Structure 1
Amino acid sequence: MGSLADITPPIALGALDGRYRRVVAPLVDHLSEAALNRARIHVEVEWLIHLTHSQVVPGVRQLTETEIAKLRGIVADFDAQAIDELAQIERETVHDVKAVEYYLKARMPDIVGQDAAQLSELIHFCCTSEDINNLCYALLVKGAVQTVWMPKAEDLLEQLSTMAHELAAVPLLSRTHGQAATPSTLGKELAVLTYRLRRQLRRVDSTQYLGKLNGATGTYGAHLAAVPEANWPAISRTFVTDRLGLSWNPLTTQIESHDWQAELYSDLARFNRILHNLCTDVWTYISMGYFAQVRGQGSVGSSTMPHKVNPIRFENAEANLEVSNALLDVLSATLVQSRLQRDLTDSSMQRNVGTAIGHSLLALDNVSRGLAGLDAVPEVMAADLDANWEVLGEPIQSAMRALGAQGVAGMENPYERLKELTRGRRINGEDLREFVRGLGLPAEVEARMLELTPQSYIGLAPQLVADHL
């Protein structure tokens, strides 16, 4: 038997790059190894442009607009051939960031002509690898979250919001502790989850993506030694904020502290957990018949039971959310720690960011597709409500309490009287109405209680959806 490892093109080891490639492919532009190297070239190029534009080093000329355009073209034209060339250089340097430096220096003669030797010295000038890498990761994660993950999450919340509004007045029997409880509406229950997810999305959207450029131990030591008259903190700040569009971290060791990453990954994980809660709730509603999976009739639900349509989208989403959170949790816990001024744990750890966000993105896709295949079944919900008239014990005893507080006679022990009627036994509508008629309620209150049904006992549920979603 031949080895699958020898097949060309190579077979993906992981599901994200194999079975689910179509869904997560947009993340390749941000969180792949090739994207990291392209970002390194981008940061190195912008640092060179920034140094010459600011005339930081005496005697070094500014780059022309044509030269700047050609330098930025190296980033824009980064392709498969460039990836291969960079890989060949790295095999010699055995250092990924140094390979980028050499890759750029090799192109300088064609860009700046006879000044290549002089200007090439400003590539990676006074930088440690982490000066480049931390900025790259901030740019890459920002791009992945803002242009790929968030639009998918926002689309899902819009889909959920639409469902919540459409189903705002469809009553269902609530279950607290698994037991029949005060009715709600299907739309209001979806609205609760939508509201929670939106709140987390706002936290993700407010993330500060920090970056630093201050040398081997964060002291600007090499910078000051090379050009002592320059205001290096100001140069660093304007580069990070104005040129790269990041937030400047003024005080670090060799590494940017990664606290912003830990905060972001915790927020993403919390969003995932709420989405997982939605999956399990919708799965349960499907199992109870409250939702019918009627769309996509060509799909096979079970290999042996033709009547079944399994809720696979929600189950798939659950699994991917759990994998995503396992990675996000370890990222947020690990990245905030570094031995003294530097260790390389973060370097290996950050290479898993794409996988973590990829599994979350895949879950978003599955939930969206799952929801699109659902239709509410109000008659099933109505049947459950009609079989549980005992849930009206709550409003009746509450009305009696209010009357007792107002001094109306005969309203003693309302809770206990309803408990005796309803606990451990089923009652129907006529049983309850007979009980109400015997309470001696004021006429207006009695009429209101007699009109009440499990289907109508939904409080302000529709209004809450309209007002807050």
Structure 2
Amino acid sequence: MEGSGEEFLKYRSPLVSRYASKEMAYNFSDRKKFTTWRKLWIYLAKAEKSLGLPISDAQVSEMESHSEDIDFVMAAEEERKLRHDVMAHVHTFAQCCPTAAPIIHLGATSCYVGDNTDLIMLRDGFDILLPKLARVIDRLANFAEKYADLTTLGFTHYQPAQLTTVGKRSCLWLQDLLMDMRNLQRARDDLRFRGVKGTTGTQASFLQLFQGDHDKVEELDKMVTEMAGFKKSYLVTGQTYSRKVDIDSLCVLSSLAATIHKICTDIRLLANLKEIEEPFEKEQIGSSAMPYKRNPMRAERCCSLARHLMALVSNPLQTAAVQWLERTLDDSANRRISLPEAFLTADIILSTLQNITEGLVVYPKVIERHIRHELPFMATENIIMAMVKAGGNRQDCHEKIRVLSQQAAAVVKQEGGDNDLLARVQADPYFAPILGELDALLDPKTFIGRAPQQVTRFLSEEVRPVLEPYKSKMDVKIELEL
């Protein structure tokens, strides 16, 4: 707690004050937004000048020399007077650029700076998220490789089912994350620039500036698009770029949230079983009342924020649906909230999941004990097959095993005892022909099928190649501040 205390007198979004990375918080900051506006005005002036409009080098130089020194107090006062954020910043920019004042924002509409800046922020937001997702995949791939052979109980309906391995289960998580990597990359690459399209997207103002020269208007759009780092602009827009672009962006982030919620729910379930735990710091407190508790708070935080991110996608869906004709302004306030929050939330849950996957703790002895409790039931089919091979009748053997299994289940469920099915089989003379085979029939390794081989092939063919472009960005460790 530093400072005068003024900052604690008003609401602050916990996404920024508690959790988000500095780079993502900056990406949606006022400074990034309004310096980008000024850069866009400079791009426009440069392109217009090169295509023959009467704009001087001195005017461009003056704008460039003041691209960063924004008087935010003046801009706020102007906006209070004008009730228009873009014009407030045009006036503020003009105040420190008196020579360039006549040509700032020449031919443009508010969405020239507003929408194009949003698209830059979306693009840069994806560029922050993609390496973070790659690091999560890398850490989880290392975990899967390490535990590819560690046998564990598989669950369907959260009831013990056939065995699998810890590594194979984590490959199920990885496969979903790979789909998210594909989706985020696709959404990022699909982004285009709004470009210079004018008030209703017809480029009429620019056609007038260039005295009816369509080629110069086309070239202006192309030049500004390239200066902003985009390969393409949308060929048609209304006053705004289509709000379906926001849907595409938030849909993939919401899908990522669903993946992370599932992974972290699994970790929470396994923590309850004491088979796997997220990192737990030496001085961390699990409960104010119960000192022994080791709550999976990181995984819980991911689930909590992932739900928020999944809910956010409804905003762009509804906004796109109600954009009348060339545009209405009821998108503005909503997008100021939903777009930054989606990227900030995605940033937080990826950083948190990286921290979790870098420190997952596995308890093989607990896993082994759970297998021992269930394996005799799972081995009944093997026992029947061995008896038939030794000359027994399948139906007789099935009935014997059924009766003994129910007796053993009663001991477990009604008396709270250990599973004694194996002891019952050994004590029954009927099973004498296969007593020497029982250890082999109950070897957990014989119940996992091709799980280890699947892990090896999956990591080699599908995971590692996806990580190749991010090799130089892998050595970043996440330490959570809260």
TM-score (norm 1): 0.82
Amino acid at match of 1:205: Q
1:462 lines up with 2:452 in the alignment: yes
In structure 2, do the counterparts of structure 1 residues 409 and 9 end up closer, same or farther at CA, with 3 Å as the change threshold? Answer: closer
Amino acid at match of 1:8: E
Question: Could you tell me how far 1:455 is from its partner in structure 2?
Answer: 4.7
In structure 2, do the counterparts of structure 1 residues 447 and 144 end up closer, same or farther at CA, with 3 Å as the change threshold? Answer: same
5 Å-filtered alignment, 1:341-352, equals: 341-352=326-337
Aligned mates of 1:397, 1:232 — CA distance in 2: 83
Partner of 1:112 in structure 2?
Answer: none
Unaligned runs of 5+ in 2: 410-418, 460-482
Partner of 2:202 in structure 1?
Answer: 219
Partner of 1:200 in structure 2?
Answer: 180
Aligned mates of 2:141, 2:306 — CA distance in 1: 21
- Between 168-177 and 413-422, the greater mean CA deviation after superposition: 413-422
In structure 2, do the counterparts of structure 1 residues 181 and 45 end up closer, same or farther at CA, with 3 Å as the change threshold? Answer: same
In structure 2, do the counterparts of structure 1 residues 70 and 393 end up closer, same or farther at CA, with 3 Å as the change threshold? Answer: farther
List per-residue Cα deviations over 1:370-404 (Å, max 9, x = no partner). Answer: 34443100111111111112223466789999x9x
Partner of residue 378 from structure 1, selected from 359, 364, 369: 364
Is contact 1:317-1:366 (8 Å) kept? yes
In structure 2, do the counterparts of structure 1 residues 211 and 422 end up closer, same or farther at CA, with 3 Å as the change threshold? Answer: farther
- Between 339-348 and 447-456, the greater mean CA deviation after superposition: 447-456
Q: What SS does structure 2 have at the residue aligned with 1:14?
A: coil
Q: What SS does structure 2 have at the residue aligned with 1:211?
A: coil
In structure 2, do the counterparts of structure 1 residues 129 and 393 end up closer, same or farther at CA, with 3 Å as the change threshold? Answer: farther
Partner of 1:160 in structure 2?
Answer: 140
Q: CA RMSD in A?
A: 3.5
Q: Percent identity?
A: 19
Is contact 1:215-1:222 (8 Å) kept? yes
Runs of 4+ in structure 1 off by over 6 angstroms are 395-401, 408-421, 432-435, 437-441, 446-449
Partner of 1:94 in structure 2?
Answer: 83
In structure 2, do the counterparts of structure 1 residues 292 and 28 end up closer, same or farther at CA, with 3 Å as the change threshold? Answer: closer
Q: What SS does structure 2 have at the residue aligned with 1:20?
A: helix
Question: Could you tell me how far 1:30 is from its partner in structure 2?
Answer: 1.5
Question: Could you tell me how far 1:137 is from its partner in structure 2?
Answer: 0.1
Aligned mates of 1:338, 1:209 — CA distance in 2: 20
Partner of 2:31 in structure 1?
Answer: 34
In structure 2, do the counterparts of structure 1 residues 143 and 358 end up closer, same or farther at CA, with 3 Å as the change threshold? Answer: same
1:244 lines up with 2:231 in the alignment: no
Partner of 2:476 in structure 1?
Answer: none
Partner of residue 209 from structure 1, selected from 167, 179, 191: 191
Question: Could you tell me how far 1:72 is from its partner in structure 2?
Answer: 3.4
Partner of 1:124 in structure 2?
Answer: 105
Is contact 2:379-2:441 (8 Å) kept? no
1:50 lines up with 2:51 in the alignment: no
Partner of 1:136 in structure 2?
Answer: 117
Amino acid at match of 1:32: S
Unaligned runs of 5+ in 1: 1-5, 110-115
Partner of residue 179 from structure 1, selected from 159, 183, 190: 159
Question: Could you tell me how far 1:123 is from its partner in structure 2?
Answer: 2.1
How many matched pairs? 437
Is contact 1:266-1:332 (8 Å) kept? no
Amino acid at match of 2:342: A
Partner of 2:240 in structure 1?
Answer: 255
Partner of 1:74 in structure 2?
Answer: 66
List per-residue Cα deviations over 1:306-329 (Å, max 9, x = no partner). Answer: 211111111111111111222233
Aligned mates of 1:98, 1:414 — CA distance in 2: 86
Aligned mates of 1:203, 1:398 — CA distance in 2: 47
In structure 2, do the counterparts of structure 1 residues 336 and 9 end up closer, same or farther at CA, with 3 Å as the change threshold? Answer: same
List per-residue Cα deviations over 1:95-136 (Å, max 9, x = no partner). Answer: 111122222323334xxxxxx3xx544321221111221111
Question: Could you tell me how far 1:223 is from its partner in structure 2?
Answer: 2.2
Amino acid at match of 1:211: F
Aligned mates of 2:457, 2:368 — CA distance in 1: 25
Aligned mates of 1:360, 1:260 — CA distance in 2: 18
Q: What SS does structure 2 have at the residue aligned with 1:38?
A: helix
5 Å-filtered alignment, 1:406-425, equals: 425=409
Question: Could you tell me how far 1:248 is from its partner in structure 2?
Answer: 0.9
In structure 2, do the counterparts of structure 1 residues 371 and 427 end up closer, same or farther at CA, with 3 Å as the change threshold? Answer: same
Q: What SS does structure 2 have at the residue aligned with 1:248?
A: coil
Partner of residue 273 from structure 2, selected from 288, 301, 305: 288
Q: What SS does structure 1 have at the residue aligned with 2:164?
A: strand
Aligned mates of 1:269, 1:398 — CA distance in 2: 48
Amino acid at match of 1:285: L
1:313 lines up with 2:313 in the alignment: no
Partner of 1:13 in structure 2?
Answer: 11
Is contact 2:119-2:193 (8 Å) kept? yes
Aligned mates of 1:330, 1:419 — CA distance in 2: 56
Partner of 2:462 in structure 1?
Answer: none
Partner of residue 170 from structure 1, selected from 141, 150, 158: 150
Partner of 2:415 in structure 1?
Answer: none
List per-residue Cα deviations over 1:23-47 (Å, max 9, x = no partner). Answer: 3332232112332222211211111
Question: Could you tell me how far 1:431 is from its partner in structure 2?
Answer: 5.8
Question: Could you tell me how far 1:11 is from its partner in structure 2?
Answer: 3.8
In structure 2, do the counterparts of structure 1 residues 128 and 434 end up closer, same or farther at CA, with 3 Å as the change threshold? Answer: farther
TM-score (norm 2): 0.80
5 Å-filtered alignment, 1:260-275, equals: 260-275=245-260
List per-residue Cα deviations over 1:66-90 (Å, max 9, x = no partner). Answer: x656533433x34xx6322322332
Q: What SS does structure 2 have at the residue aligned with 1:342?
A: coil
- Between 36-45 and 271-280, the greater mean CA deviation after superposition: 36-45
Question: Could you tell me how far 1:340 is from its partner in structure 2?
Answer: 1.4
- Between 382-391 and 207-216, the greater mean CA deviation after superposition: 207-216
Question: Could you tell me how far 1:427 is from its partner in structure 2?
Answer: 6.1
List per-residue Cα deviations over 1:145-174 (Å, max 9, x = no partner). Answer: 212x23322222222222121121111111
Please state which structure has a larger fraction of its residues in helix: 2
